[in-house]
């Protein structure tokens, strides 16, 4: 597979992953470009022990953390910046409202729960791939995802009371 094909098939996954981390469209685009730039530079070193998307998400995660370190910012993703999409809740679909509640609660989760849940749901990575990206075991990824899901469900139930 050429890097052009990798870019076309994996761009959305990498961008989506980065967007779940930083919730900033322009930063996600910038980091996605940087991720693919790094991937082009080191593509000959890719050994194929994992899927290309897993490898790219690992690069993306490293680029994001490098950005945070460079900006000396604390990862405070508890804020949701896209409330404008739901100005009129009465016009929103119930599913959209539920999705927003889930996103809101997701960003209040501590790490690694937030990242594992995002990788599983938004980047659609397997537990094995999540383990590789985070340097953990498949079982660890599975248990962490399950715990994140339980925490999210509890938060949603608490809101309904």
Q: Give the N- to C-terminal CA distance of the chain in Å, as an integer.
A: 52
Return the CATH number of the domain spanning residue range 1-75: 1.10.1740.10
How confident is residue 45, by pLDDT bands cut at 50, 70 and 90? confident
Q: Average of pLDDT values for 16-45?
A: 85
pLDDT for 72 = 61
Q: Quick one: tokens of 127?
A: 């537990």
CA distance 59 to 65: 10
Model confidence at 10, in pLDDT bands (50, 70, 90)? confident
Mean pLDDT of 131-155: 85
CA 131 – CA 151 distance, rounded (Å):
20
pLDDT at 77: 37
Whether the full predicted model's pTM is greater than 0.75, yes or no, is no
Mean pLDDT of 118-140: 85
Q: What pLDDT does 79 receive?
A: 36
Residue 30 CB neighbour total at 10 angstroms: 15
- Tens of pLDDT, residues 49-81: 788 888 888 888 888 888 887 776 443 333 333
Residue 8: count other Cβ atoms within 10 Å of its Cβ. 10
CB atoms within 10 A of CB 42: 11
Task: Among 2.60.40.1930, 1.10.1740.10, 3.40.50.300, 1.10.10.10, name the CATH number for the domain at 76-161.
Answer: 1.10.10.10
| List of residues 6+ apart from 123 with CB closer than 8 A | 13, 16, 17, 20, 53, 57
* Euclidean distance between CA atoms 64 and 85, whole angstroms: 25
28-35 contacts at long range (C-beta below 8 A, 24 or more positions apart) = 31/60, 31/63, 31/64, 31/67, 32/60, 34/63, 35/59, 35/60, 35/63
Show the CA angle centred on residue 97, arms to residues 151 and 76, nearest 5°: 50
pLDDT tens digits for range 74-112: 433 333 333 333 333 333 334 566 667 777 777 778 888
Domain ranges of the chain: 1-75, 76-161
If you average pLDDT over residues 116-130, what whole number do you get? 83
């Amino acid at each position: 597979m050429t890097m052009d094909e990798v870019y076309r098939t994996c761009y959305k996954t990498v961008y989506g992953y980065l967007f779940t981390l930083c919730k900033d469209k322009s930063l996600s685009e910038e980091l996605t470009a940087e991720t693919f730039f790094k991937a082009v530079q080191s593509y000959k070193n890719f050994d194929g022990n994992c899927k290309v998307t897993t490898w790219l998400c690992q690069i993306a995660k490293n680029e994001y953390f490098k950005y945070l370190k460079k900006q000396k910012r604390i990862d405070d993703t508890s804020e949701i910046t896209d409330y404008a999409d739901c100005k009129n809740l009465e016009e929103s679909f119930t599913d959209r409202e539920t999705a927003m509640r889930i996103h809101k609660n997701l960003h209040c989760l501590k790490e690694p729960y937030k990242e594992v849940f995002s990788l599983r749901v938004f980047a659609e990575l397997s537990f094995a791939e999540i383990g590789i990206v985070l340097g953990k075991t498949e079982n660890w990824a599975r248990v962490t995802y399950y715990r994140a899901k339980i925490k999210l469900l509890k938060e949603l139930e608490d809101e309904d009371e």
